[in-house]
Structure 1
Amino acid sequence: MARKKTFIVVFVVAAVLIAAVTGSVYNATQHVPEFYTEALHVEPTTAHETGEVLEEQVFAFSNQVKKPRPWSLRLTDKQINSWLAADLKEKFPELLPEHIQDPRIAVKGKTLLVGCKYNGQSLNSILAVSLDCFLVEGEPNVVGIQLHNVTAGALPIPIGQLLSEIDTYAGKAEIPIRWQQRDGDPVALVTIPTTGKEIEGEIRIDALEFKDGEILLSGETIKTEEELEAEATEETQTPMASPPVSEPPAES
């Protein structure tokens, strides 16, 4: 009888502990990061207008980089979130998988925060990740993206599955990615193409900067050595115009 009572007590205590742990884990997954709550507040009346301004900026920027000249682009996280809220689903309905909804970003200091709603078979939560983005020294046009602090709500989650999904979608978009480690975190190395359709030269990124609420990108499109040599050859082969022949003065 004593053993039976002991077993019942142990069972009840174990059940209570399991329920408490399960409840704590569930509550932790339902936590909403403060930055995501703020980023979700987009005024519907101005979202489309702000999104259109962003598209105009990006379009103008894409024209800038086509010609040999310095160029720059400045975007705010509010502009990007307005576009994500008003235009992403309408203009690119197949871009995100079904279990990902309402992506938003925030730039806090030099850190980029990215969050979204995740509705999976075994988990409904807010996924968030903090990123550090930088130009890789000694590798022209290579951007490093360091991933850390990946969470579901307030609960840290293994990063392996996220890396696998990143590789999958990068492969579909034909974006080559290399992986390295930095301070114990995975770093995706993405090479920005230096040439492209209608680009008269090579793209060179000089600066990528994140500061509160803003993303700044600057660089220059420069003529290639082949283009410079071709221009020089064309100049040397072009015959110089003969000076005009002066007529003799008329007799008085």
Structure 2
Amino acid sequence: MRAAGTLASLLGVLAMGACAPIPGPSHIQAFDVPAACPVSASSFEANDGLEHSRTALRAGSLTILAVGSSSIEGVGASRPELGYVPLVETGLREAFPAARITVINRGIGGETTADTVNRLQTEIDAARPDLVIWQLGTNDMLRDLTLARVVSDFERGRDILDAAGVDVVLIDPQRLPEDTDNDGFRGRNSLLAGVSGTIAWLGAREGYAVDPRFDPMSGWSDLEGGGVGPDDLHLNDAGYACWAANTVAGLGEALR
């Protein structure tokens, strides 16, 4: 039995090392990354988290649950497989070919932070993930909820996540076009920036990884529509591909 255990451990280590180069614009072959997309792992903050996920990956299997609102669901993509979650799954499988990686999409359009937290335990019980990707904050600001409310709802979610013993990656809101004609969106970027900064602070405080989106989107000006579709809210195919590429680069490096 000891020999079998030693062999299993060795195989786990070998599986962890059998991965592609750290993904960058020229390394991601699993999906098309727009040439104008600035791909970098540098903005991803692991915050000393992800150890459970690294252990799962070494054992050969990593299950990720993605929760949040419409950008997790994939609204705006021309085909379901071009949304964020399918692309992240494809990219991580390419980066770690020796492991079985599953990313479960449980995004629901229009949700606030509270809405996601209210179903979080049920989703965790069903998926039994090693890692939860949680996108939050956009709809809260579009509905004029306060930062204090976002933090309070986040802390309810934190208690559920910590009790489940899972790793967490937080994703902040997207940036809206500054020249939008939508009166409900105009001027909202200052509020979304505030949520983004708060999420970065919460991630550092709780030891959750943070995969920022708001600030990196300022460098997407050469993407079609700046990565945002004609409704000035949901990402288009180029935006989803660029966002997913950055997640694969940052999370992939952190998991090593």
Q: Tell me if both proteins adopt one fold, taking TM over 0.5 as the criterion.
A: no
Classify the TM-score, shorter chain: under 0.3
Structure in which a larger fraction of residues adopt strand: 1
Determine which structure has greater relative contact order: mean sequence separation of CA pairs < 8 Å that are 6+ residues apart, divided by chain length: 2
What's the TM-score once normalised by structure 1's chain length? 0.27
Bigger Rg over Cα: 1
Structure in which a larger fraction of residues adopt helix: 2
